[in-house]
């Protein structure tokens, strides 16, 4: 009997462990499966089908193996509970019978007490079953608790400032001795400092991985710096109400994020107005050179795009994303490689249109193709977590070895690709 009780303790912890493993394995399986479906073309292009099948197969075998252990432990747990119950009943019966025989207990009383015990056995069994289920649910409960305990976005710090002051001609941006590294990542900014005046257009260049997109993420409040300051119109972004902060920023992401919705809904998404007039949308589409694209769609603005609708090319998506940022009409515009998917002619057209859009607002532009940013008021060259150089294109070509080498490499690359290297 004590052995059975000891075994029960072991089994209970085994059930709990297997239930936790089950939750984790299911999570891994689902995320790997949805990722491979979403990246179906990559899987096909790289011939990963076989490897993926093996990987998912292994995961499902582990899942099945774990389920066998879980079911076996549960059955053993139920059986051991039944053994304890039967043993109790049997002992009661024997002890009672001996007492009746010795005339220490009236037969009627014995029958009454024994019947009570038998009647109690049912509910006792149920209670044990519930205890078992509770033990299994503890694993899921653990996960839910973890989710609940996650800090809601923006809960760090007071974020009480709602008013950024005068936004009519853009904002000022101060980056002061900013230090930042991603959780579990290496250091990205090691004392980044620069100032952008109201209404300026500033280009940001730097090697891939130097932290250009990260700077935009910090500006949007997705992450916070470890030390130093990022301030819009003099207000530290950590003190700014997130809604007010994001209302002031229009962003075109490096990867175009369009929703499975109509063109109209995708364009109007950023606007603070409840209803955006079609006229306004068409104006933005014209400016982003996307009007022809939308006119060619079967239902114009009402055409559904995305995975449930019409598939658009990379360049078309970029133009719609630019139009969306224009509709928002923000005092601070962030463009992250916004025209990188376009051919040179379309890019030229959009660049000309963007010059109009940069007026009366502050704009930060990340660009790899330096030919697109020669007109910027300032160019900021990021290198190893700091601002290595800052100035106008002509100044930097003169004075910055780093910028000149970047620029010359691109010009040479262009001439070579055009087959005019002998010029």
Which parts of this chain interact with ligand ATP (CB under 6 A)? 182, 185, 188, 206, 208-214, 254
Look at residues 267, 257, 256, 265 and name the one whose alpha carbon lies nearest to residue 291.
Answer: 267
Backbone angles phi, psi at 186, to 5 degrees: -80, 170
Q: Shortest approach of ligand ATP to residue 182 CB, angstroms?
A: 3
Nearer to ligand ATP, 216 or 358 (CB): 216
Q: Residue 209 binds which one of Mg ion, ligand ATP, none, with CB within 5 to 8 A depending on kind?
A: ligand ATP
Q: Are 70 and 18 in contact (CB under 8 A)?
A: yes
HEC letters along 121-148: HHHHHHHHHHHHHHHHHHHHHHHHHHHH
Q: Shortest approach of ligand ATP to residue 382 CB, angstroms?
A: 7
CA distance 332 to 197: 11
Q: Shortest approach of Mg ion to residue 336 CB, angstroms?
A: 6
Applying CB under 5 A, the span of 13-21, 187-195, 246-254, 271-279 interacting with Mg ion comes to 246-254
CA distance 346 to 369: 14
CA distance 324 to 269: 7
Q: Shortest approach of ligand ATP to residue 337 CB, angstroms?
A: 7
Nearer to ligand ATP, 212 or 361 (CB): 212
Cβ-closest position to Mg ion: 213
Nearer to ligand ATP, 197 or 226 (CB): 226
Look at residues 108, 221, 106 and name the one whose alpha carbon lies nearest to residue 157.
Answer: 221
Nearer to ligand ATP, 217 or 404 (CB): 217
Q: How many residues bind Mg ion (CB under 5 A)?
A: 2
Nearer to Mg ion, 213 or 262 (CB): 213
Applying CB under 5 A, the span of 21-29, 74-82, 188-196, 211-219 interacting with Mg ion comes to 211-219
Q: Shortest approach of Mg ion to residue 257 CB, angstroms?
A: 14
**With binding defined as CB under 5 A, does residue 213 bind Mg ion?**
yes
Nearer to Mg ion, 96 or 385 (CB): 385
Nearer to ligand ATP, 52 or 387 (CB): 387
Q: Are 326 and 280 in contact (CB under 8 A)?
A: no
CA distance 173 to 236: 10
Nearer to ligand ATP, 186 or 308 (CB): 186
Q: Shortest approach of Mg ion to residue 254 CB, angstroms?
A: 5
Q: Residue 123 binds which one of Mg ion, ligand ATP, none, with CB within 5 to 8 A depending on kind?
A: none
Applying CB under 5 A, the span of 118-126, 253-261, 299-307, 316-324 interacting with Mg ion comes to 253-261
Q: Shortest approach of ligand ATP to residue 83 CB, angstroms?
A: 53
Bridge partner list, 179: 190, 227
Structure tokens at 59: 């995961």
Q: Where are the beta strands (DSSP E) in 88-236?
A: 173-181, 187-196, 201-206, 227-232, 235-236
CA distance 216 to 6: 58
Give the Cα-Cα-Cα angle 388, 389, 390 (nearest 5 degrees): 140
Give the Cα-Cα-Cα angle 257, 262, 266 (nearest 5 degrees): 40
Q: Residue 188 binds which one of ligand ATP, Mg ion, none, with CB within 5 to 8 A depending on kind?
A: ligand ATP
CA distance 77 to 329: 65
Q: Shortest approach of ligand ATP to residue 387 CB, angstroms?
A: 13
Residues of the shown chain interacting with Mg ion in the complex, contacts defined by CB under 5 A = 213, 254
């Amino acid at each position: 009997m004590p052995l059975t009780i000891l075994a029960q303790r072991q089994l209970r912890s085994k059930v709990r462990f297997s239930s936790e493993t089950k939750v984790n394995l299911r999570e891994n399986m689902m995320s790997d499966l949805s990722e491979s479906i979403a990246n179906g073309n990559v899987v096909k292009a790289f011939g990963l089908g076989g490897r993926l099948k093996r990987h998912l197969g292994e995961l499902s075998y582990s899942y099945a193996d774990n389920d066998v252990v879980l079911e076996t432990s549960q059955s053993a747990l139920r059986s051991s509970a039944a053994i304890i119950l039967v043993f109790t009943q049997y002992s009661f019966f024997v002890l009672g019978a001996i007492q009746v025989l010795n005339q220490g207990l009236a037969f009627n009383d014995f029958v009454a007490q024994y019947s009570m015990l038998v009647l109690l056995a049912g509910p006792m069994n149920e209670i044990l079953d519930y205890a078992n289920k509770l033990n299994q649910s503890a694993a899921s409960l653990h996960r839910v608790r973890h989710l609940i305990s996650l800090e809601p976005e923006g809960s760090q710090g007071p974020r009480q400032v709602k008013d950024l002051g005068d936004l009519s001609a853009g904002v000022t941006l101060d980056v002061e001795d900013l230090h930042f590294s991603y959780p579990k990542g290496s250091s990205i900014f090691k004392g980044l400092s620069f100032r952008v005046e109201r209404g300026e257009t500033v280009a940001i260049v730097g090697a891939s991985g130097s932290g250009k997109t990260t700077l935009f993420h910090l500006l949007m409040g997705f992450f916070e710096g470890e030390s130093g300051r990022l301030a819009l119109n003099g207000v530290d972004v950590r003190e700014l109400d997130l809604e007010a902060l994001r209302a002031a920023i229009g962003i075109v992401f490096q990867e175009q994020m369009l929703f499975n919705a109509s063109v109209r809904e995708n364009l109007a998404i950023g606007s603070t107005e409840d209803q955006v007039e079609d006229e306004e949308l068409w104006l933005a589409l014209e400016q982003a050179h996307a009007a022809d694209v939308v006119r060619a769609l079967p239902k114009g603005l009402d055409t559904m795009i995305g995975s449930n609708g019409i598939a658009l090319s990379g360049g078309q998506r970029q133009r719609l994303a630019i139009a969306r940022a224009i509709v928002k009409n923000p005092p601070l515009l962030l463009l992250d490689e916004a025209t990188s998917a376009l051919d040179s002619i379309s890019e030229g057209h959009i660049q000309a249109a963007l010059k109009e859009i940069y007026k009366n607002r502050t704009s930060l532009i990340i660009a790899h193709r330096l030919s697109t940013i020669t007109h910027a008021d300032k160019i900021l060259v990021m290198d190893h977590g700091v601002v290595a150089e800052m100035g106008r294109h002509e100044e930097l070509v003169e004075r910055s070895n780093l910028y000149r080498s970047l620029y010359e490499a691109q010009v040479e690359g262009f001439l070579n690709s055009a087959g005019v290297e002998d010029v």
